[in-house]
Amino acid sequence: MAAGATAGMAEVRATAPGWFRRPTTYLLLCGAALWAWAAHALWASTETAPVSGPHLDAGRYFGDSFLDRSATYSHFLEIESLLGMVVLLVVLVLYARHGHRLMRESAAGRIGTGMLLGMLGFGVVWLASVPFGLVAVWWQRRYGVSHQGYVQWLIDSFVGLGGTFLFICLALLVTIGLAGVLRRWWWVVAAPVLVGIALLYTFASPYLITSTSPLRTPQLVADARALEREKGLSGTRLEVEEVHRFTTAPNAEAAGFGPSRTVVLWDTLLDGRFRRAEVRAVLGHELSHLAHNDPLKGVGWAALFLIPAWGLIALLTRGRGGMARPEAVPVALLVLVALQLVTTPVLNAVSRRQEAAADWSALAATHEPAAARSLQRRLAITSLSEPDPSPLSSFLFGTHPTALERIALTYTWEERNLGSSHVR
């Protein structure tokens, strides 16, 4: 039987397609299995929060007038965003088809010309987004969410893309340089290098935020340090970003890791509209992100995106000579942006999971569910965000659980940990 089995296996190998018999096929299959395992491990590493809570009536929390106003405001911005994506893809398709002709005017060499085409493509992307950005500013000004001037928005939009611009330049330098040496397998080496750059950017990102100053409110600093100890953290930088000149919307973020761990509060959170207990809930939420290492996990998700993306770029740019040739850069930009748009709903799901976990962890640290409820209601009202959007809207655009879901979560926590829950 052993001899017969050996002969059978030999026959299978002999009749299998040529690509199946190649060693590289087995390497790619092993790589795909490793990728799937890493994605599952990264997803499971996020602390879970209950996915269901009591059913709440949005009208009783926010009023029918606000629900109608917030829906009109949000739906316009969502439709405009979708139109912007379509226009962006059309522009990049045209650039991918015709952009390589611009290299005839370049005498910068192979790598220099590729970087030039990348920078021009970056400019094309920005120009395509400008009309939609200006319309969004007009809409936000109309509803009183923003009072930023159009010229100022243009300047800030362009300057704010500096970090992305630098990353693209470094990415093209690495990619074209490695492709010239490694040919078809450049992406196997380039992807880890780019992940390393992303890691460096994540570490440095808190220092790149402009218009910030240290948090100087003694009570809030004391609250943050107490929450730090609760979370097993120490030495977190507490910064306030000045944004009131442009927007009335409140926000906060957690950035960096290790020595660069930072919580940034927008000054619109500290203008008197929010009580101390509500700001303490924000601090607990952001410190939970740092305790969960969410900025580092973001790099992990970026790695899971970049590795197959770069492999697909290597495959789809062969018609232009591969990434060793500068004329392949416009095609690479199209593929990268298209993949980013396609994977956005998946990354949104990851973000919602992390945000819910941070909400749950903050409740465990503050033990103030009533403050968390009032915070979520006030955040929705001051930002004019739709408290209970459609599932499709949440799938496409939702980076956070809805306001109603976050309020429901406070009741679930209260019932499980305090033994009572008074749903109103």
**Using CA atoms, how far apart are residues 98 and 227, in angstroms rounded to an integer?**
55
Residue 256 inside a domain? The answer is: yes
Amino acid at 377: R
Q: Which of 147-161, 232-246, 277-291, 293-307 has the lowest mean pLDDT?
A: 147-161
Strands 252-255 and 262-266: what pairing? antiparallel
Within a domain: residue 15? no
Task: List pLDDT tens digits, range 191-224.
Answer: 888 888 889 989 999 998 888 999 999 999 999 9
Cα–Cα dist 192/303, whole Å = 8
pLDDT band at 106 (very low <50, low <70, confident <90, very high): low
Active site residues: 286
Average pLDDT over every residue of 123-131: 90
- Average per-residue pLDDT in the chain? 88
Global pTM reads 0.88
- Dist. CA 128–CA 54, nearest whole Å: 44
Question: Does residue 423 lie in a domain region?
Answer: no
The pair of three-digit structure tokens given for residue 57, joined into one six-digit string: 């009536």
Q: Is residue 1 part of a domain?
A: no
Region 280-303: mean pLDDT is: 96
The one-letter amino acid code at 31 reads G
Instruction: Count Cβ atoms below 10 Å from residue 391 Cβ, excluding itself.
Output: 9
SS3 of 146-188: the string is ECCCHHHHHHHHHHHCHHHHHHHHHHHHHHHHHHHHHHHHHHH
Structural domain contains residue 13: no
* Helix pair angle (329-366, 109-142), 10° resolution: 50
User: H or E stretch including 324?
Assistant: none
Q: Does residue 142 carry a pLDDT above 60?
A: yes
Highest mean pLDDT among 153-157, 305-309, 330-334: 330-334
Give a yes or no: residue 329 inside a domain.
Answer: yes
DSSP alpha helices (H): ranges in 239-368?
A: 276-291, 294-316, 329-366
Number of domains comprising the chain? 1
Position 234 scores a pLDDT of: 94
Give domain status of residue 400, yes or no: yes
Burial 335-364 (b: 16+ CB within 10 A, else e): bbbbbeeeeeeebbebbbbbbbbbbbbbbe
Helix or strand run (H / E) with residue 253: strand 252-255
421 — pLDDT class (breaks 50, 70, 90): low
pLDDT at 386 over 70: yes
Question: Is residue 130 one of the residues assigned to a domain?
Answer: yes
Q: Transcribe 201-228 into DSSP letters.
A: HHHHHHHH--SEEE---HHHHHHHHHHH
pLDDT tens sequence across 254-277: 999 999 999 999 999 999 999 999
Range of the domain at 186: 28-418
CA-nearest of 279, 325, 72 to 183 is 325
Rounded distance, CA 379 to CA 172, Å? 40
Place of tokens 């306001």: 403
Residue 3 has pLDDT above 60, yes or no: no
